Amino acid sequence: MSSIYIHIPFCIQKCLYCDFPSFAAKEALYIDYTQALITEIQKKSLLCQSQTIDTIFFGGGTPTVLPAFLLENIINTVFQYYTVSKSAEITIEANPGTLSDSLLSSLHTMGFNRISIGLQAWQDSLLKEIGRIHNRYAFLQSFFAARKAGFENISIDVMFALPGQSFSQWQETLYSIMALQPEHISAYSLILEEGTPLFDMWQKNQLSLPDEALDRAMYHFAQQILSKNQYQQYEISNFAKKGFESRHNQVYWKTLPYLGFGLGAHSFWENKRFHNTYDIKKYIQCKGNPSLLTEETELLTSAQLQSEFLFMGLRMTKGISAAEFEKRFGIPLHCVYKKQLSFLIEQNLLQKQNDCYFLTPRGMDVSNTVFCQFL
Ligand code: SF4
């Protein structure tokens, strides 16, 4: 089983915290970009002759800024050139303000069976503060329209530790989205990325951010309230009703193979990591020719693969299995990482149950420190 990621690098406007490869006001490139993308998808199918595709993810950017006919051309190319499992999970990321009833209905007809809607915050004042294009009303319209169009698997993205966000605003965000009963919720802490307007404001002391204690209190509240309301935490930032865990994201955390198409898209294939150019002009000029648009191919050594298995797998609440490690790498886990595992267990950052290792609640709070042990 394998997976496909498709990157659509266009947005209506750039959010103030965003450092993803995405551009606003580039409508003039939509058709040329889609043509290059389709050719890339066709050409790379040679890599994937004997594999069945189990998950497809359209991410961005905001894929739903593209007109329906372009999205349809892209997804149909995937169906035509790859063997897609009948039960494949096919997700599209979307932002309120870009979703009409007719687009949602077309997406459902095209085969998308999961939609991930970026809300980020319930309060219009916070949405404005971080440069989102929509308000809460537009989100609600999109959510109900998605349900009406037939989407039975909806994920909502929210963020905490936003500038000026209070604990009660975060509580209100979580209570309000739980009332809608989406199948999946992603809750991320705001990370200030260098080069973004919010980062510049922070450097100039123009931003009031929640401190570390409030950030953790918000995270712990999300863990508690979501698990009390049927949303099982299955990864550091992801919660789902039973059976609705994102299959696509688990591909990344389990270090399984995937092919990425589009600007800056990353792939992990036959133990190689590679990514496409981040230069949109170059991407279009390469006309989908993989040898021209691929950059930085790295064949991972066994040690690197083992290390990724650990630090990606430990993101999941069920952790990693020693038996699975041995099956994949032909060497017992304790022969490679005995020292690190014992140290982390002693520090109450890691726990062992049967043959599985997973983060303790404390380990989840300082997960990056834990992952460093395996780098
Ligand atoms: S909508 Fe998403 S990708 Fe687009 S600018 Fe905002 S955060 Fe970035």
For ligand 1, atom 5: residue with the closest CA: 14
The Å distance, Cα 38 to ligand 1 centre, comes to 23
Q: What is the CATH number of the domain that holds 152?
A: 3.20.20.70
Cα separation, 137 vs 71, whole angstroms: 26
Q: What is the pLDDT of residue 88?
A: 98
**Across all residues in the chain, what is the average pLDDT?**
96
On the question of pLDDT at 296 being above 90, the answer is no
Asked if residue 188 and residue 331 are part of one domain, the reply reads: no
**Residue 280: inside a domain, yes or no?**
no
Q: What is the pLDDT of residue 268?
A: 97
**Residue 266: inside a domain, yes or no?**
no
The Å distance, Cα 331 to ligand 1 centre, comes to 42
Contact 187, 171 (CB under 8 A): no
**Residue 274: inside a domain, yes or no?**
no
Cα separation, 189 vs 162, whole angstroms: 8
Average pLDDT for residues 69-94, to the nearest whole number? 98
For ligand 1, atom 3: residue with the closest CA: 61
Q: What is the pLDDT of residues 239-254, one digit of tens each?
A: 999 999 999 999 999 9
For ligand 1, atom 7: residue with the closest CA: 18
Q: How many Cα atoms sit within 13 Å of 66 on the Cβ side?
A: 32
User: In sequence order, what are the residues at sequence separation of 6 or more whose Cβ sits closer than 8 angstroms to the Cβ of residue 181?
Assistant: none
Q: What is the pLDDT of residue 187?
A: 98
Asked if residue 307 and residue 245 are part of one domain, the reply reads: no
On the question of pLDDT at 259 being above 90, the answer is yes
Q: How many Cα atoms sit within 13 Å of 217 on the Cβ side?
A: 12
**Residue 154: inside a domain, yes or no?**
yes
Cα separation, 182 vs 177, whole angstroms: 7
**Residue 139: inside a domain, yes or no?**
yes
Q: What is the pLDDT of residue 347?
A: 96
**Looking at ligand 1, which atom is closest to the CA of residue 19?**
8
Residues with CB under 6 A from ligand 1: 11, 14-15, 18, 20, 22, 60-62, 95, 118
Asked if residue 150 and residue 13 are part of one domain, the reply reads: yes
For ligand 1, atom 8: residue with the closest CA: 18
Average pLDDT for residues 278-302, to the nearest whole number? 95
Q: What is the pLDDT of residues 111-152, one digit of tens each?
A: 999 999 999 999 999 999 999 999 999 999 999 999 999 999
Cα separation, 349 vs 364, whole angstroms: 8
CB burial string 339-348: b at 16+ within 10 A, e below: eebeebeeee
On the question of pLDDT at 260 being above 90, the answer is yes
Mutation pick for ligand 1 pocket among 7, 12, 14, 191 (CB with most ligand atoms within 8 Å): 14
For ligand 1, atom 6: residue with the closest CA: 15
**Residue 86: inside a domain, yes or no?**
yes
pTM for this entry: 0.96
The Å distance, Cα 47 to ligand 1 centre, comes to 31
Torsion sign, CA atoms 142, 59, 92, 254: negative
Q: Which two tokens stand for residue 6?
A: 């498709």
Cα separation, 9 vs 24, whole angstroms: 9
Average pLDDT for residues 52-70, to the nearest whole number? 97
Q: What is the pLDDT of residue 355?
A: 94
Q: What is the pLDDT of residues 7-44, one digit of tens each?
A: 999 999 999 999 998 999 999 999 999 999 999 999 99
Asked if residue 338 and residue 229 are part of one domain, the reply reads: no
- pLDDT above 90 covers a percentage of the chain that reads 97
Structural domain tally of the chain? 2
Q: What is the CATH number of the domain that holds 349?
A: 1.10.10.10
**Residue 286: inside a domain, yes or no?**
no
The Å distance, Cα 142 to ligand 1 centre, comes to 17
Q: What is the pLDDT of residues 325-373, one digit of tens each?
A: 999 999 999 999 999 999 999 999 999 999 999 999 999 999 999 999 9
Band (pLDDT 50/70/90 cuts) for residue 48 is: confident
Asked if residue 338 and residue 215 are part of one domain, the reply reads: no
On the question of pLDDT at 50 being above 90, the answer is no
Asked if residue 204 and residue 331 are part of one domain, the reply reads: no
The Å distance, Cα 22 to ligand 1 centre, comes to 7
Q: What is the pLDDT of residue 43?
A: 96
The Å distance, Cα 17 to ligand 1 centre, comes to 8
Mutation pick for ligand 1 pocket among 95, 116, 157, 196 (CB with most ligand atoms within 8 Å): 95
The Å distance, Cα 274 to ligand 1 centre, comes to 23
Asked if residue 176 and residue 115 are part of one domain, the reply reads: yes
The Å distance, Cα 12 to ligand 1 centre, comes to 9
Q: What is the pLDDT of residue 375?
A: 85
Q: What is the pLDDT of residue 49?
A: 85
* Domain extent for 244: 2-252
